[in-house]
């Protein structure tokens, strides 16, 4: 759990010159920890359940998008996790039981305090002030662990939305993101670039964390954008990949990344897939540190660009590589070249898929009324 604050509350990034060199370049000192407050009860009167059972889905996400480390992310269509939640008289009032975990992994704990879905569900129950009803939860994992596709966030998002739906949708999406952040903080760090798009859909900019300030970015409906996702048989735990990041960066890289992140936001709003790809490929801070830890990643990026991708980078903490293009057929060909590069250079088997932007986010799939 991240509990340390920025060194200076008013200046989360401070600039300085190391004393060891007479005329060094400026550096930006970066803190990866954030202050946060725990969730509070937001509903004055405890709501009653409107359903006996609900099933929800939350999509996979691509965090960072190259230069947008910890403040940009998007949801992708078709991949994700499901949660089935039931009112259960056999569970003590105000508590939740995780009864079953199925899908891509069964290694996860069924202790709600040690499970992404459980933590988010408990946080949502606390926001709603649930004290009189017990719940049981089934989690179906559609995403593998440590894939770089927001596996923990998908579980947390599906669970938070399920609790909110079963009690009549009393909370807004930003409040559900806060509940999901409780889970992310304990699993991979207090960052919202997965959980926000998992709940809200589309592209999301995290403008501030304290207080949380989220800005949905609307990609034009009349423009085409496809993500080529290539996932190798290699696990890259988020905590490990975050630990590899530099604590200081050259000022010139800070300026460069800031300009590329701004260009990426502009590209999203204008529906410019080519500019989006160029900006996504231009990270000089995080990707250069993480790419060498993923066998073959640099060759995979080169293969994607040579095959015609507009851009390519690491999805989240990796190891999935993500490329962008404006046509599904082109995406399939690019994916084949990326798979070949992972095998030839990284000696890793991988699977490619071409997906569109998920503009909806976590949602109710079906329900049973009381």
| Domains assigned to the chain | 51-218+359-369 (3.30.230.10), 226-356 (3.30.70.890)
Tens of pLDDT, residues 83-104: 999 999 999 999 999 999 999 8
The pLDDT tens digits of the residues spanning 254-277 come to 999 999 999 999 999 999 999 999
Q: Residue 290 pLDDT more than 70?
A: yes
- Is residue 106 among the annotated active site residues? no
Count other Cβ atoms within 10 Å, centred on residue 134: 17
Q: Which pairing describes strands 212-217 and 226-232: parallel, antiparallel, or unpaired?
A: unpaired
Catalytic residue among 84, 238, 313, 320: 238
Dig out the tokens for 26 from the structure: 């400026």
pLDDT number for residue 237: 78
How far is the C-alpha of 305 from the C-alpha of 326, rounded, in Å? 14
Catalytic residue flag (residue 184) = yes
CA angle centred on 242, ends 297 and 151, rounded to 5°: 75
Predicted confidence at residue 33, as pLDDT, reads: 42
Instruction: Compute the mean pLDDT over every residue in the chain, rounded to the nearest whole number.
Output: 90
Q: Is 168 left (phi over 0), alpha (psi -120 to 50) or beta?
A: left
**C-alpha span between 269 and 259 (Å, rounded):** 16
Helices 273-280 and 251-270, packing angle to 10 deg: 160
How far is 109 from 233, CA to CA, in rounded Å? 22
Give the separation between CA 53 and CA 87, rounded to whole angstroms. Answer: 6
Q: How far is CA 363 from the centre of its chain?
A: 16
Q: Which helix (H) or strand (E) holds 99?
A: strand 96-103
| Percent of the chain at pLDDT exceeding 90 | 81
pLDDT above 70 coverage of the chain, percent: 90
End-to-end CA gap in the chain? 38
Q: Write down the pTM of the prediction.
A: 0.88
- How many residues in the chain? 370
Geometric angle at alpha carbon 129, from 123 and 134, rounded to 5°: 80
pLDDT digits (tens, 9 = 90+) for 149-159: 999 999 999 99
Distance CA(235)–CA(7), nearest Å, equals 32
Q: Phi/psi at 315 (nearest 5 deg)? A: -80, 115
Task: Give the tens place of pLDDT for each residue, 101-150.
Answer: 999 887 899 999 999 999 999 999 999 999 999 999 999 999 998 899 99
* Residue 47 clears pLDDT 80, i.e. is over it: yes
Q: What is the pLDDT of residue 38?
A: 62
Alpha carbons within 13 A on the beta-carbon side of 65:
33
Rg of the chain taking only CA atoms, in angstroms: 21
Among 76, 63, 58, 73, smallest CA distance to 154 is for 58
**Which residues face 139 on adjacent strands?**
83, 101
How far apart are the C-alpha atoms of 338 and 305, rounded to whole Å? Answer: 10
Q: Which two tokens stand for residue 317?
A: 């903490």
Quick check: helix, strand or coil at residue 253?
Answer: helix
Selected catalytic residue, list 165, 175, 182, 184: 184
Q: How far is CA 327 from CA 129, 202, 323, 336, in A?
A: 47, 18, 12, 15
For residue 190, the SS3 value is coil
CA-closest candidate to residue 137, choices 173, 95, 171, 104? 95
The tokens describing 333, both together, are 């060909």
Q: What is the DSSP string of 73-98?
A: EEEEEEEEEEEEEEE-TTSPTT-EEE
């Amino acid at each position: 759990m991240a509990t340390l604050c920025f060194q200076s509350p008013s200046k989360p990034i401070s600039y300085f010159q190391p004393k060891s060199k007479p005329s060094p370049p400026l550096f930006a000192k970066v803190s990866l920890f954030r202050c946060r407050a725990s969730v509070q009860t937001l509903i004055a009167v405890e709501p009653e359940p409107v359903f006996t059972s609900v099933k929800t889905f939350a999509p996979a996400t691509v965090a960072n998008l190259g230069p947008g480390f910890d403040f940009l992310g998007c949801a992708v269509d078709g991949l994700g996790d499901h949660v089935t939640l039931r009112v259960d008289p056999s569970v003590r009032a105000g508590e939740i039981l995780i009864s079953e975990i199925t899908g891509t992994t069964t290694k996860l704990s069924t202790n709600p305090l040690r499970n992404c879905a459980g933590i988010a569900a408990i946080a949502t129950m606390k926001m709603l002030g649930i004290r009189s009803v017990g719940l049981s939860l089934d989690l179906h994992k559609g995403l593998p662990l440590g894939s770089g596709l927001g596996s923990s966030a998908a579980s947390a998002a599906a669970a938070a939305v399920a609790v909110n739906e079963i009690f009549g949708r009393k909370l807004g999406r930003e409040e559900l993101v806060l509940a999901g952040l409780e889970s992310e903080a304990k699993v991979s760090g207090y960052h919202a670039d997965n959980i926000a798009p998992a709940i809200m859909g589309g592209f999301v900019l995290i403008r501030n964390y304290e207080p949380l300030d989220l800005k949905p970015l609307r990609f034009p409906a009349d423009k085409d954008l496809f993500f080529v996702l290539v996932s190798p048989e290699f696990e890259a735990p988020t905590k490990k990949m975050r630990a590899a990041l530099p604590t200081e960066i050259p000022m010139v890289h800070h300026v460069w990344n800031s300009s590329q992140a701004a260009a990426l936001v502009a590209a999203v709003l204008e529906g410019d897939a080519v500019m989006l790809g160029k900006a996504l490929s231009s990270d000089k801070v995080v990707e250069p540190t993480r790419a060498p830890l993923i066998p073959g990643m640099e060759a995979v990026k080169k293969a994607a660009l040579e095959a015609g991708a507009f851009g390519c980078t690491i999805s989240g903490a990796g190891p999935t590589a993500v490329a962008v293009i404006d046509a599904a057929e082109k995406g399939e060909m690019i994916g084949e070249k990326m798979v070949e590069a992972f095998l030839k250079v990284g000696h890793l088997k991988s699977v490619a898929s071409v997906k569109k932007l998920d503009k909806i986010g976590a949602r109710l799939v079906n329900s049973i009324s009381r």
